[in-house]
Structure 1
Amino acid sequence: MHTPLLQPLNGLSCGKGYSKDGCWGLTPRSIAELQTAAFTGITVCLTSTTVFSSGISAIFPPQFMILGLAGALIVSYLDLKLSIEWSLKTTVASWLGCACGCLIVYAVSALNQGDYNPLFGILLAVPSSFLLSLADQAGEVYCKLSSVYRGDKALLLLIIPVVFGGDAPYWSAITAAVGYTIGSFIPLLGTLCLWSIGVLPDTRLESLKGLSLILADYFDEVASLRRDRDHQVAVLRRMWDGLYKASTDAAVSTTDLKLRGTIWSMVACLSTVRRSSRRRAMNAELLESLWLPFEGQIVSLRQKVVSSLRMWDSLGVADDDKIPEAANELSISVEECLARADISTGPELSNFEFAVNEMVKFSLLAHEFLVRVKSPSEESSCVAEIVDWFRQPLFAPVNPEITWRVRFAYPLRAAVTVPLVALFIVIGGQYSTILAHYGLWMMLPCLFCFLPTPGASIRKGLRRIVGTVVASVLAVVCVSMHPNNDGIFLCELFVFSVIAKLMFFHETLQYSGLVFGFTWIIVGLGPGIDTGLPVGSKVSRAVHRMDMTVAGVILSIILTSLISPVFANKRLRRATVRSLELVSNSVANACESVVNETPWNREALSKDVLSAAILLGRSYSDRHAQIADARAECQALRYLSPTRHLQLGHLVAAQHLLDRWTRQSLAVISAVTTCLATTGLAAGSGFPLPAERDLLLVSNVIRRRSDLLVAAVKTRKFKMADVSDSLCGPFRACSLTFKELVWSTMPSTAWFMLFKTSEKCGKKWNACSLAL
């Protein structure tokens, strides 16, 4: 006899997966990246008319106007919100820096009887550099000015009239500001035109669609009670990695914290469903007495959820609203069945109730997910956002709190470094004509590679060196082969702009891609189309620009490491401590809430799970923002301090274990809310004292181990080998206790699954402890 409950639905996406759809094996994300790269090439070529046109070049110096092409390369995106943000920030920064630089030149000239002295201008640039650097795009200052303009662009436009203006400082600054404005306006105009006709790709929506299909496949499989349980376990294990990767990509793609929390809650819920349904194979008697009476309702709920997740575009919100109705109907039927006196209690009944509750919870989470994604987001008006911006404090509060020294570290270093490099160029230019003529190209990497931490500067600087050398070699070759040929240079500009943007989307290359693009523009295009230069001078100019750019990168790395450095590994330690405390407190509080019957939200769609997911998600983001930079510092310490290299290496290597521990903690919290929603606890029947004792023991051990781990991370000298107590021991003791309990004394509860989840959580904790 065919039993629908025993088999998955095998719908459209099953066995194929979303990531393999699309033409020629390209994913929707890669297609969107190709479209963005082509769009970037077009916008850069349109912007290049400002340097190809002899009429414009006669008015605006091409040396500064060409910066607009580099700006267009950076701000070109097929994302309306991102394009508006970057274009406006760049434009505001350009004119703000231009105004500050011109004001400094005017003030120095007025005080020096009409004669401008760049040394006095550099002196006045120190406080201006500090103020402009408050708009730190790395988010280390937590100043609201960073939402208005880009600090690095403002610093560049400040320095141009102060140091590189020559006989016409005002016009040089205005030319650079006009170039950046045009380079920001053309991509924005193109994005607005594509948006108006509805052809903009939505990478966020594509990521969420991909996750929706994978969730449907996984839930379809895990909610089917296959007789061949070993085969099902193997299938689910293969699908889990894909599910976690898709959920991570989707969570990163959205800024909606509640949607992000819903995604992590769904993954945690599926984890507990998998454990509850795989404990043992379903025999015929068990199916007949427990599962088959609800076959129609379970299959109906599963079909509605899977269909809504799979057929994203075909079904509307009204069809999705049928999910809560089916879920509530199933919950009521199960509660009525469990209330009957002829139902015998036991572990299988507890497992059945737990599994059904988790299925209902996932169904409601899936409905919440679909509603939030499909429904148009409520966005406040522009006027309301401006009013809200003025009401915000200048410096946002941070949890955990940071000192003002840490908050102002980057602006202070920028206020020292930028004028210091400018002073070196001014004084050195008196003795070296090369430095005097090409010093601007040394200043550019010092501004754009000077980041808050040495690790970030090393990582970004090395990528810039790679991009600079490769692009410079190609630029010199192009200048040598076809000087003054505007048509070929225009075609090459399109090709190299597309390649640069594609390199930027690559996970490893990233910043070196953008550097590759605008280095070719500066080194190759600028001298190549200058008809007033002979071929030999074009090549030598390209070589000098390459030398200055590489020297600027190296100088930036050195200054970042020497001038009041704030290392990424310290920030990673603080973020790791914060994560350890949050995770341990969340799991310990969950265990204690079961014993103390804390009045948590006992609804299937628990706000406690969503809140925990949002909080732990923020902690996850804070840590991952520092891992790459800390890894770069770790590699540098290999040659400077082997001891510190080893300590930092352990910390970086343990981050993936902390990620797994974080995900497992959400599964524990999800299991707790399901246990609290069971009829046994609701009726006040209580549970055995050994269970209470073991739960409290687990909670105490978690808190104690958390304190030891935090001490290990903070001091860097604590040896985890000195920790004698093991967290796995208490979890194993808890599991054995519950196996020995007489289940008839615990009607309709799901504690066993809670302990199985907690035991696995403890194993992750031990692995993290040993790594640290």
Structure 2
Amino acid sequence: MVVNLYSSITISLSQFLTGVVGAFTIGVGAIPMMLPIDQSKREILIYLMQGPVWALFSTHLNFKATASHCLRSLLGTWLASAFGCFYYFLVQLMCGGTVDNYQREAAIAFVIPTTFVIALTHQSSGCKLREVIGFEAAASSFFTPVALFLDKPYEEALVNSIMESYGIIVSLATIVFLEIFGLLPTRTSSPIKDFDLAAADFFDRLSTSIVSGNKQAATLDAAQAKFEEAVAKASASTKSPKIRSMLWRMASFLYSLRKSIAEGCYPESIVRRLWKPSTADLLDLRCAIRRGLLSDDEADPSNIVDVKERAAALKTSFREASLKLKDTVHCSDELVTMEEIARYNFAEESVLHFSYIVTEYITAKNEEMAKLGRSGKGVHSLIVVQWFNDFVDFLVHWWKEPFFESNGMTTWEKLIYPAKLTLTATLTSTVILLWGRAQPFLMSHVFWGFIAALFCMLPNTGATLSKVTRRIAGTVCALVLAVICIFANPFNKAAFFVELLIVAFIGKLGSTFPLIGYGGPVFVLTWVIVAFQPSVSMIQPEEDTLWGIGWRMALTLVGVTMTSVLSLLVFPVLASLQLKDVSQDTLKEQAKYVVEAIRQLALLADDKGAIIRDSREELGESLSRNSTTRASLQSDAYTEVVVFGQWIMSGKDKRILEAQRTLDALARSTVCAYGASVTCGIEIEQPATSAMLKPVAHHLSELATALERSSAELQLCLSGDSGNDVDAIEDDVHLAMLRCRDGFNESREMLISKFREGSVPFNEVVDSGGSILYHAVYALNIFTEEWNSLEAFLAGRKSTSNFDSDPASEVSPVSSSIGSWVIRQ
């Protein structure tokens, strides 16, 4: 099979502009390197490259991101440089007061406490200091006068800080200029608006395909993929837990509708007698939902009223169509199976429940927008006034924040990563300095070995290895290109400046592709150091330049090797184990909420005054947070699998990694099952409670107990130290659900029998919550089906090939085992 690489590579305008603007700022940052400076001023020349380097890392085509990075870096540069000079002064006094007696290794040990404080400013530390101090700038500026200087620590610290600031200010000034004149690419809509559009489109596709089965599978899958991406971005962007929860609840009912459609087409009788009579009202509801989701007028309540009215009209048409179907069901000449009616009714309820949540979501979104409008942001005509107000708001918010973010971690867990960074900085600088004593030529290169080690240390081993790989790849590519450029245009400043612009464009453009990422800036950084600097500012013979290329590669390898070893051996944190823990917590949370909802429903049958606890918002927030955490760990966990294989991962750990997509699907089913059960508990009343709920209450209690036991056994299976699979997990959940369905069928048949005799007012049972109970039982059945499938896979009783499947095959024909519940009036 031939793959056209060019057809798979697309470059957006934003990516292209990132390369262009990056090349411009790097070129301006490199201007001091072009100036004719005395070659004897090594303490100045060696730090001139900080201009283009910091312009490289500070330029982003986003004003807030650039401004935040630049301001934090400027503060970190000067603050850390001042502290570094102060520590140099103290250590020098302790060593006799002369530069010759200064002990760099002793200074590194002496500043360990301050190094730890600097480590707290890393973006992954969870400490509030990270929001005001740039870690990279602080670390490089602090260690320059403490241990990594050449001959004159004070002068070198000053020049280093000036050049870093110059590169940072060039980037900031460029982005400010582009922002003022509206030349930066801007989003045409917010993530919430993108979600609204994706939700409206997905619902349109689903509602028009209810009776089509999987004939439109490709179209539905494309709409679902777009919707899933929109949900993830909207959930990450909103600060409102209430809205975040509603995003998940809306998604759960759309996915339920998708599962119903995936079970196949309906008989012609259902299409003609149930679907067609309600299509006009369904079309009206679709239009009302789209209009409500996409409306920009948050002060207009008519959109919400319209959705409610259209939903009520659709519900009426559903009931009327069911009433007309009543006699047909029992006619011998045109028999309609109860199973198909059951599935169609579930699709109806999914549509209606989605419309109900849409009205709640629109209300909550409008309230949030009104709250933002009252804050006064965006009303000033002067953009500088807006920036000042944003800055003041940030300072007030930052001051009120706790020192460490509240993420459920213990104090020790929060301090592990800064401790690892401190140890990495201390050991790496010590080793490289000792090597530099034996090879004096290395002293002008030790800084870059230190930086390679420190900047590649990330919170978990998988993330560290990913960054190390990109660092090595970027370095190797730059070294190869450097050799070519040195031989092609030796000491030609004009040629090298043009080459710098080209290299900068390629590196910044490459950084916009996830596969390259960090490797792009490293490519530019390395080329500037090994090719541009010795050919333009610190002129060196070709032989010395080539030796410098070799030493640069050696020091990079030493630095990243030390980082990789320390990440794995010192306070090791493996992404695969983190993913396992978070996944286990997710399963435990899902089972806990569903068990709670089932028991509440069961108790309601005997206790009419039972209080129903509604935690739909908390459940949506919890599952959204867990899903985001799991998504952030998957790539790092895969890296660990590739590098270490079975050495660090058991079969259970690997299965957890493979099951992430289905964990997300189970989470959506959890939201649907919990929401349907709670809604039923809130709305059901007599006579539906006695006629329909009470006969299945005992079976619901058994289902809750079986699910609780299954969850505990699964937790024991996954957390066991043994690598053996636990195959003894009984299939109690499946059996309990079967009994619950049988009990529901029996009560249904009894009700239909009494209805035929005229002894029970069937319509009153339906209106008082019978249809809602049906929807809850169906939703619980879907949840238990997915739970059983996932449980069997994680326990090692089901192969991967049978586990990962398309949406259509993930859904078993649950309606055939539930039976029917014909909604009539």
TM-score band, normalised by shorter chain? 0.7 to 0.9
3-state SS of paired residue (2:630):
helix
Find out whether 1:425 has 2:448 as its counterpart: no
Shift of 1:235: 4.9
Given the alignment of the two structures, is residue 110 of structure 1 paired with residue 93 of structure 2, yes or no?
A: yes
Q: Contact 1:484 / 1:531 at 8 angstroms: preserved in 2?
A: no
Residue number in structure 2 paired with 1:708: 713
Q: CA shift at 1:324, angstroms?
A: 0.4
- In structure 2, do the counterparts of structure 1 residues 531 and 105 end up closer, same or farther at CA, with 3 Å as the change threshold? closer
On the 8 A contact 1:454/1:560 being kept in 2, the answer is: yes
Is it true that 1:364 corresponds to 2:359 in the alignment? yes
Aligned partner (choices 587, 594, 604) of residue 594 of structure 2? 587
Under a length normalisation based on structure 2, what TM-score does the superposition of the two structures give?
A: 0.79
Matched, 1:121 2:107: yes
User: Paired residue for 2:778, among 752, 756, 760?
Assistant: 756
Instruction: Note closer, same or farther for the CA distance 1:261–1:515 as it changes in structure 2 (3 Å cut).
Output: farther
Structure 1 contact 68–183 (Cα < 8 Å) conserved = yes
Counterparts of 2:16 and 2:249 in 1: how far apart (Å)?
33
2:686 & 2:23 partners in 1: Cα distance?
64
Hey, what's the Cα distance between the residues in 2 that align with 1:411 and 1:613? 32
Q: Contact (CA 8 Å) 1:426, 1:436: kept in 2 or not?
A: yes
Q: Deviations over 1:472-523 (max 9, x none)?
A: 1112211221133333323322322232233323232222222222222222
Alignment of 1:633-712 (within 5 A): 633-638=640-645, 642=647, 644-672=649-677, 674-676=679-681, 687-712=692-717
Where does residue 12 of structure 1 map in the other structure?
none
Measure the CA separation in 1 of the matches of 2:515 and 2:536.
Answer: 33
* Distance in 2 separating the partners of 1:531 and 1:407: 43
- CA distance 1:194–1:256, change in 2 (3 Å): farther
> Structure 2 CA distance, aligned partners of 1:95 and 1:703?
57
1:4 alignment counterpart? none
How far apart, in 1, do the equivalents of 2:345 and 2:140 lie? 67
Q: Residues 96 and 703 (structure 1 numbering): CA distance in 2 closer, same or farther, change over 3 Å?
A: farther
Residue 724 of structure 1: aligned partner = 730
Once the two structures are overlaid, the 10-residue window that deviates more, 379-388 or 124-133, is: 379-388
Larger CA deviation: 255-264 vs 348-357 = 348-357
- The offset of 1:653, in angstroms, is 2.1
Aligned to 2:332: none
Within 5 Å, which residues of 2 pair with 1:85-164?
Answer: 85-116=68-99, 117=102, 118-139=104-125, 142-164=126-148
In 2 relative to 1, CA 169–230 (structure 1 residues): closer, same or farther, beyond 3 Å? closer
TM-score by length of 1: 0.84
SS of 1:97's equivalent? Answer: helix
Listed as ranges, the gaps of 5+ residues in structure 1 are 1-23, 602-606
Aligned to 2:304: 324
Instruction: Verify: 1:477 aligned to 2:484, yes or no.
Output: yes
Deviation at 1:656, TM superposition (A): 2.7
Q: Distance in 2 between matches of 1:585 and 1:446?
A: 44
Distance 2:358 2:599 in 1: 27
1:215-230 matches, cutoff 5 A: 215-224=199-208, 228-229=212-213
Report whether the alignment pairs 1:771 with 2:791: no
Among 227, 231, 249, the residue aligned to 1:247: 231
Give the drift of 1:634: 3.1
Separation in structure 2 between the aligned mates of residue 63 and residue 636 of structure 1, nearest angstrom: 37
Q: Measure the CA separation in 2 of the matches of 1:448 and 1:663.
A: 38
Residue 468 of structure 1, CA deviation: 1.0
Decide whether aligned partners of structure 1 residues 64 and 472 sit closer, same or farther in structure 2, where only a CA change above 3 A counts: same
Identify if the C-alpha distance between structure 1 residues 542 and 324 changes in structure 2 by more than 3 Å, giving closer, same or farther: same
- Partner AA of 1:127 in structure 2: P
Query: Contact 2:731–2:788 at 8 Å: present in 1 too?
Result: no
Partner Cα distance (2:216, 2:480) in 1: 56
- Quote the Cα distance in structure 2 between the aligned partners of 1:194 and 1:208: 26
Please state how far the C-alpha of 1:752 moved relative to its aligned partner: 3.2
1:138-537 maps to which residues of 2 (within 5 A)?
Answer: 138-139=124-125, 142-203=126-187, 205=189, 210-224=194-208, 228-229=212-213, 231=215, 235-237=219-221, 239-252=223-236, 257-274=241-258, 281=266, 292=277, 298-307=282-291, 316-317=296-297, 321-331=301-311, 351=346, 354-355=349-350, 357-364=352-359, 367=362, 371=366, 378=375, 382-399=391-408, 401-402=409-410, 404-530=411-537, 532-537=539-544
- Cα distance change of structure 1 residues 369 and 396 upon mapping to structure 2, 3 Å threshold: closer
The letter of the residue matching 1:498 is: F
Paired residue for 2:31? 49
Judge conservation of contact 2:19–2:506 (CA < 8 Å) in 1: yes
Residues 298 and 631 of structure 1: CA distance in aligned 2, closer, same or farther (over 3 Å):
closer
**CA shift digits 1:273-326 (9 cap, x unpaired):** 44567887486788778984x7665433321333565xx6xx631697432011
Q: 2:465 & 2:258 partners in 1: Cα distance?
A: 44
Asked if structure 2 preserves the Cα contact closer than 8 Å seen for 1:276 and 1:753, the reply is no
Contact 2:214-2:261 at 8 Å conserved across structures: no
How has the CA–CA distance of structure 1 residues 356 and 596 changed in structure 2, closer, same or farther, with 3 Å as cutoff?
farther
Give the 3 Å change call, closer, same or farther, for CA 737–548 of structure 1 in structure 2. same
Q: Is the 8 A contact 1:226 1:232 kept in 2?
A: no
Q: Deviation of residue 714 (structure 1)?
A: 2.5
Deviation at 1:122, TM superposition (A): 1.6
1:408 counterpart SS class: helix
Residues 1:166 and 1:435: Cα distance change in structure 2 (over 3 Å): closer
Alpha carbons of 1:49 and 1:553: their partners in 2 closer, same or farther (altered >3 Å)?
same
SS state of the match for residue 551, structure 1?
helix
Asked if structure 2 preserves the Cα contact closer than 8 Å seen for 1:262 and 1:369, the reply is: no
Change (3 A) 1:463 1:235: closer
- The Cα of 1:469 is off from its aligned counterpart by 0.8
Tell me the amino acid that sits aligned with residue 111 of structure 2.
Answer: A
**Do the aligned residues in 2 keep the contact of 1:227 with 1:281 (CA within 8 Å)?**
yes
- Root-mean-square deviation (CA), in Å? 3.7
| Structure 1 residues 129-165: Cα deviation after superposition (integer angstroms, max 9, x where no partner) | 11211223224xx321122223343222221111222
Counterpart CA distance in 1 for 2:274 and 2:428 is 80
